[in-house]
Chain A
Amino acid sequence: MNEKELIKKAKSGCVEAFEELISESQKKVFNIALKMMGNYDDANELAQEAFIKAYRSLHKFKGDSLFSTWIYRITTNVCLDELRKRKNKKVISLDQSMEYNGEEVERQIEDEAIGPEKLLEKKETKKVIEEAINSLSVDYKTVIVLRDIQNFSYEQIAKITNCPEGTVKSRLNRARHALKEILKGKKELLDEKFVK
């Protein structure tokens, strides 16, 4: 049965057809949620919520994009909604102002020749970078996860996030810059831990 037929059957309520439709995207959806949320339990719950939402609103899918793209869009939206709902979230972005001696100043970008990754033990790299991604603003986090972890194209990301491609490009550039800054912010701690 091809995708079109499966969609038709799933729209009529057939759970098995829907499950076959999402079989390819399940792992990716879970991993997007995992990187967006930063923990296993939330990822499990929100990835499932994304699929339930997709099942519930299948009638709205008109075939304008690939079915998988539509699912990924729902997934990022579900995660973004949840992240925005949560209070006390850590947000650090390049554009964000910070307080220094009681005055609000623009965040300065520290210039260092040595990349932060060189300071890390390979074993710990993943954990540290995931923590850094987790502390990005939600928009930056989304593009980093979609582009640099999930390897979606700019065009796909534009469709998933419902943003113009130009926005995706500039946002990604700033997001990578911000990510680098966060990792540098961890430098002191990392120095103590890993630099011999």
Chain B
Amino acid sequence: MKKCSEIMELIGLYIDNELDADLRAEFDEHIKVCENCKNEYTEQLEIVKLCNSIEEEELPEVFKEQLHEKLLKEKQRKNPLFFIKRRNVRIISSIAAVILIAFIARDFIMRDNYESGIKSESAKSFFSPSTKGADTNDLSLRATTEADNMSGDVSIASGYDFGNELEEIYGALEISEGTSEEKEFDEGTVSIGGIPEDVGNDEQEYLIRENMSKDLRGEYNPLMQIENITASEQDVVSVYMNMKVEDIKKVIDIANNYSIKLDSYIYNDAKAKNLYENYSFSLNVEKHNYNLFIEELKSLFEDIDISKVDGKILINLE
């Protein structure tokens, strides 16, 4: 026969039906004659029933949305390139420039061996992106690619707080401020790339990339990339756009519809007094998509102003 203290230890298992038949029978016998243990059992049983009766609460409405944003941020954090801090961009860019020079120099030496007399012309062409010589374009495009690879991309998820990303962009822009001869687009490049495949087409999400490139003179020349691409691919229309920050998302959504990605560069509008209100950026639109793209913009924005400045199409959505 078990003592009360031993029976008390079995109450929980009895309630949860975890006792074997013998012990259960012994327990039943005990509480028939022991008022104290019986009371303890009935009280605990009531407590358990009370707890069981508590219904589950529904998830807060914002739960999934908030979690999604946090997960996206975490995903970016997992990316080792995330740890390339803004302050390191200058160092990385310098290293990229050195390697770029070595790369170009090697190319020049090789050319020297096989194409005597062309060397000076080639070098001159490289410094002038608008030159359309096939060799020159080829060379400068390769150089640009090399610089991009070496400088690295810093990717930041911006799904829920575009303001923070703008601060990041602003910070990056400051690095190159005043270093270029270009008056209009003199502050490095910041691009909005396409949405990564494995993330899907979530409209909350952008990938902001910071791209810093240097030309041989050691000056930032963001235009170099665009100019070269448009020079070699005549079926592409280079469009500069100016808009309010809150409209960027809409424009990017439309751009994505026409597969306008990768080469969509966002530039700081040097004339804009407030970086947080006004942005300009450049898109390369395939010619056959151009009209559709413009029509769609017109359907969304009432005050759309299209003009041609210095041979470039300028769309103002303000």
The reply to whether A15 and B199 contact each other, CB–CB distance below 8 Å, is yes
**Docked complex Cα distance between A28 and B50 (Å):** 18
**Docked complex Cα distance between A26 and B194 (Å):** 30
The reply to whether A117 and B48 contact each other, CB–CB distance below 8 Å, is no
CB of B152 within 8 Å of the partner chain: no
CB of A67 within 8 Å of the partner chain: no
The distance from the CB of A142 to the nearest CB of chain B, in whole angstroms, is 13
Q: How does the 8 Å CB contact mask read for A84-121 relative to B, with 1 for contact and 0 for none? A: 00000000000000000000000000011101111000
CB of A7 within 8 Å of the partner chain: no
The reply to whether A148 and B57 contact each other, CB–CB distance below 8 Å, is no
Interface residues of A in 1-37 (CB under 8 A from B): 12-16, 18-19, 26-28, 30-31, 34-35
**Docked complex Cα distance between A13 and B79 (Å):** 9
Residues in B with CB closer than 8 Å to A135 are: none
Residues in B with CB closer than 8 Å to A173 are: 8-9, 11-13
* Known contacts A44-B63, A169-B12, A115 near B51 by CB under 8 Å: no
The reply to whether A144 and B51 contact each other, CB–CB distance below 8 Å, is yes
The reply to whether B18 and A169 contact each other, CB–CB distance below 8 Å, is yes
Residues in B with CB closer than 8 Å to A31 are: 56-57
Q: How does the 8 Å CB contact mask read for B153-176 relative to A, with 1 for contact and 0 for none? A: 000000000000000000000000
The reply to whether A115 and B46 contact each other, CB–CB distance below 8 Å, is yes
Interface size class on chain B is: 35 or more
The distance from the CB of A31 to the nearest CB of chain B, in whole angstroms, is 5
The reply to whether A52 and B200 contact each other, CB–CB distance below 8 Å, is no
CB of B64 within 8 Å of the partner chain: yes
* Known contacts A13-B75, A180-B44, A111 near B39 by CB under 8 Å: yes
Chain A residues with a Cβ closer than 8 Å to the other chain, count = 49
Interface residues of B in 92-146 (CB under 8 A from A): none
Residues in A with CB closer than 8 Å to B57 are: 30-31, 34, 40
Residues in A with CB closer than 8 Å to B63 are: 26, 30, 44, 47-48
Q: Which of B40, B51, B64, B71 has the most CB of A within 10 A?
A: B51
The reply to whether A52 and B71 contact each other, CB–CB distance below 8 Å, is yes
**Docked complex Cα distance between A137 and B83 (Å):** 41
The distance from the CB of B205 to the nearest CB of chain A, in whole angstroms, is 10
The reply to whether A26 and B59 contact each other, CB–CB distance below 8 Å, is yes
The distance from the CB of B51 to the nearest CB of chain A, in whole angstroms, is 3
Residues in A with CB closer than 8 Å to B47 are: 115, 117, 129, 148, 176, 179-180, 183
Q: How does the 8 Å CB contact mask read for A58-97 relative to B, with 1 for contact and 0 for none? A: 0000000000000000000000000000000000000000
Partner of B56, one of A13, A27, A133: A27
* Known contacts A27-B59, A112-B39, A130-B54, A52 near B70 by CB under 8 Å: yes
* Smallest Cβ-Cβ distance to A154: which chain B residue: B18
The reply to whether A111 and B44 contact each other, CB–CB distance below 8 Å, is no
CB of A163 within 8 Å of the partner chain: no
A-B contact pairs, 23 of them (CB 8 A): A13-B78, A16-B199, A18-B71, A30-B63, A31-B57, A40-B57, A48-B63, A48-B70, A51-B67, A117-B46, A117-B50, A125-B50, A129-B50, A148-B48, A149-B51, A151-B52, A154-B16, A154-B18, A173-B12, A176-B11, A176-B15, A176-B47, A179-B47
Extra A-B contacts (19), CB below 8 Å, given A28-B56, A148-B52, A149-B54: A13-B78, A15-B68, A15-B71, A15-B75, A15-B199, A16-B198, A19-B67, A27-B59, A35-B54, A52-B71, A55-B74, A111-B39, A112-B43, A113-B39, A115-B46, A117-B47, A117-B50, A176-B12, A176-B48
The 5 closest A-B pairs by CB, nearest first: A148-B51, A173-B12, A115-B46, A115-B43, A15-B71
